[in-house]
Structure 1
């Protein structure tokens, strides 16, 4: 796509609202106060953030995306990639024929040995599909027949920051739009009261080894800034200044925004900067969110059974459990993309204790989210993705005992799973060698994964582009990735 198309679309939209004599926020206020005319009510139903012309490219299986990112890279060996034969290699040197001179990080390159560390956790086949899962995730074991487990995901990045940037934006170099921003840009939003793309960064268990999160993981990059992910806070008000100050009424706020809108419109007419249109739209969205966000975060309408399903932390704002149920409430209300980034999975030492704490924090809410979506008829057209930025090594970093070990970064293979719209149920795809060190069957590059996500959403990744710095930029890069059709329903 070209910026001119975006500019034309924004200009048409602003002209419509200007000619109607009533801005979107004014319509919302009039309707809430009971003073809305039939014309205002009809106009308010217009899509604030519509899809680009011609999108989706074909009928989508999924209309919305919930992306559960385990930041720091969970160990596939201890969660999903069962290697029982490793017990026979305990504390033995990783064979050169397995490592094959592959790159390792500076954190273990100075070790004199690379001792094999089998997982201390038991695995079992789950559901009718028999997908193997660790005892660390007993609740996820219950949804095995709803997911496709991909064991052969791989990436080039070996350190967290570039790897996280890559998994979210398709590039190790900062400045590119995130997956959620691309979907907001291409498909728009079904909601006029909430952003198309919402982000949660929940708390994590104390003592976990957490990497920093950077806004580039939900940034719109060179796309219009209206497609940035909106991060909802876990403490205090979900959005800063969501409430009016004492003595300021909704009508006062409306008059102020109308006046500000007029000033911005004059600036736009003088300079022609499309970002001025973005600023106007963001002010209007902020006004509407003053009503929609408090309703979103009020869980009083949820049944006792639903709240119990998500676990004891569901009503504690800022937890992973509360983020999971809010994700469901957001997509119910028309939000296109919800991204939850859960930190603390970088376990270079003391892995058995730390990964147990992390798993307990996310396991029950994650499974509850899948069950909840299914019960409400939402899973069939909602795509859920679960995974990290790379995997962990089979050899131990630092001290190795039967009860304690750590694992270094391993980009050559790791596990991710998908569920819902467009994805087959109860399937395992891809395999690794006996050391979970190399892919032996059906490799899936992260660009392939992102192309598959876009495909589920009705998008041909080759046709969703934006002209920037002389190039037609794409989420999946300049080389043609492969949509993993074998996992599609």
Structure 2
């Protein structure tokens, strides 16, 4: 029986051609198809696919408003970030025993295994440089440096038992802002806009201001979107001149010409988005459109000239001047216009020496604006839906540094305050030991703070996740417990 044979030359040509067609077809079609399926699934899981979508199923507007896991107590957040580490001993945590033992060595067992940034074990104890008094119906003790904050103390929830893991500025700031000491993780504002979107279509969802001596030690890592789409990054605004550099049209470019150019560019981008479903293309489209709208919306939102004189006086704000007070007023104007997250950095609190004079200057620069923001939000009917957070990346030591007028970084215990919807107002939560060295009652780790903030926004912190490099990430990583004692 004769077997039929195929010409080996022609057979190899056919096989090669078939393999080529199959390979091209797979790369051109299946790669896109599978990518689209994966993207659609991810976006559906995270509720990003609300609103208009492209042909791939990817949300054309990634900042469209979205629903949280359960009814929220608040919908906006303003963070007053006092970069450098404010001394709790001169502001919120009165320690009579520390004052009595001023100039003596701390107990030897207190420093066992303790790591400090700069001071040595022979550093002596340092009592508070300023006096304390009780204020408001709640009777909370505050420093004489904070007369304006004292006037709103019944609206505050003061936490005296904060603790963190880092004792140097950049890692500690990153931990407070992103839940991690390493660069590259999404900031809290990014997680919030990722989960909730934005109510403003004419302004960024997440805005950042800087004041003080310099920017924060961790820089833009404090407001970066990390592995989330870059549309969720914070946008740094200036409080004088153009809010954002190059916002104004160059000479010879009018709005009509710019609109036509933008339409042509976005049409090409949408065509590419429909093919590959890359979320960064959607971010680019959204950014271009946002920048165009911001040319009219941002200058209006950032102009405080139209504010009544009594409001300017309340804040101590001066139109055209760069100041923390102006930034506080701008924060109110932005949340009033639907901006979801506003973060104010004031990097001036790192007093290793010159504590007495420098912390007084810090309070003169910030105390009035902070209190005015609470009062203004309250009278505008916005405080119940806004969370205001005051604090730095860590506290200061009860031991002296820099001769007799400075304190080192201290992660073991520090103070913060919050105000707004869903909180017990007029409350002091937690306590430190007699020397203020360790937390003695109701410790609140940074991860616990984040879990509680997300809870107020309507999220279970364990469920607000984003899959990256094979695992689900979240703001609280694998940590965090709800601080129920401060919830109303």
Identify whether the pair has TM-score above 0.5, normalized to the shorter chain: yes
Alignment-derived partner of residue 444 in structure 1: 444
The partner residue of 1:57 within 69, 80, 83 is 69
C-alpha separation between the residues in 2 aligned to 1:11 and 1:62? Answer: 21
Alignment-derived partner of residue 163 in structure 1: 172
SS in 1 for 2:160: strand
Deviation at 1:474, TM superposition (A): 0.4
Q: Alpha-carbon deviations, 1:314-341, whole Å to 9, x = none?
A: 4244311111000000000001100001
SS in 2 for 1:299: coil
SS in 1 for 2:129: coil
SS in 2 for 1:153: strand
TM-score (norm 1): 0.87
Deviation at 1:485, TM superposition (A): 1.0
Alignment-derived partner of residue 179 in structure 1: 188
SS in 1 for 2:450: helix
Alignment-derived partner of residue 200 in structure 1: 209
Q: Alpha-carbon deviations, 1:297-325, whole Å to 9, x = none?
A: 122321111110001x4424431111100
Matched, 1:409 2:409: yes
**Could you tell which deviates more after superposition, 79-88 or 364-373?**
79-88
Q: Mark the structure with the bigger radius of gyration.
A: 2
Alignment-derived partner of residue 350 in structure 2: 346
The 8 Å contact of residues 422 and 456 in structure 2, kept in 1 or not, is answered as yes
Alignment-derived partner of residue 32 in structure 1: none
Alignment-derived partner of residue 101 in structure 2: 89
Alignment-derived partner of residue 400 in structure 2: 396
Deviation at 1:372, TM superposition (A): 0.2
Matched, 1:13 2:52: yes
Q: Alpha-carbon deviations, 1:70-118, whole Å to 9, x = none?
A: 000000011000012222211100112333332222x213x6x211110
The 8 Å contact of residues 169 and 218 in structure 2, kept in 1 or not, is answered as no
Alignment-derived partner of residue 237 in structure 1: 242
Alignment-derived partner of residue 315 in structure 2: 310
Q: Alpha-carbon deviations, 1:421-447, whole Å to 9, x = none?
A: 111110000000111101110000000
The 8 Å contact of residues 73 and 385 in structure 2, kept in 1 or not, is answered as yes
The 8 Å contact of residues 170 and 446 in structure 1, kept in 2 or not, is answered as yes
The 8 Å contact of residues 161 and 431 in structure 2, kept in 1 or not, is answered as yes
The 8 Å contact of residues 350 and 406 in structure 1, kept in 2 or not, is answered as yes
Deviation at 1:184, TM superposition (A): 0.4
The 8 Å contact of residues 174 and 221 in structure 2, kept in 1 or not, is answered as yes
* 1:76-225 to 2 correspondences below 5 Å: 76-105=88-117, 107-109=118-120, 113-204=122-213, 212-225=217-230
User: Structure 1 unaligned runs (5+)?
Assistant: 19-23, 25-46
C-alpha separation between the residues in 2 aligned to 1:472 and 1:417? Answer: 31
The 8 Å contact of residues 88 and 395 in structure 2, kept in 1 or not, is answered as yes
The 8 Å contact of residues 173 and 217 in structure 2, kept in 1 or not, is answered as no
C-alpha separation between the residues in 2 aligned to 1:258 and 1:203? Answer: 40
C-alpha separation between the residues in 1 aligned to 2:222 and 2:40? Answer: 26
C-alpha separation between the residues in 2 aligned to 1:251 and 1:395? Answer: 64
C-alpha separation between the residues in 2 aligned to 1:56 and 1:81? Answer: 36
TM-score (norm 2): 0.88
**Could you tell which deviates more after superposition, 241-250 or 418-427?**
241-250
C-alpha separation between the residues in 2 aligned to 1:370 and 1:3? Answer: 42
SS in 2 for 1:184: helix
Deviation at 1:272, TM superposition (A): 3.1
C-alpha separation between the residues in 1 aligned to 2:346 and 2:320? Answer: 15
Q: Closer, same or farther in 2 for the Cα pair 1:372/1:260, shift >3 Å? A: same
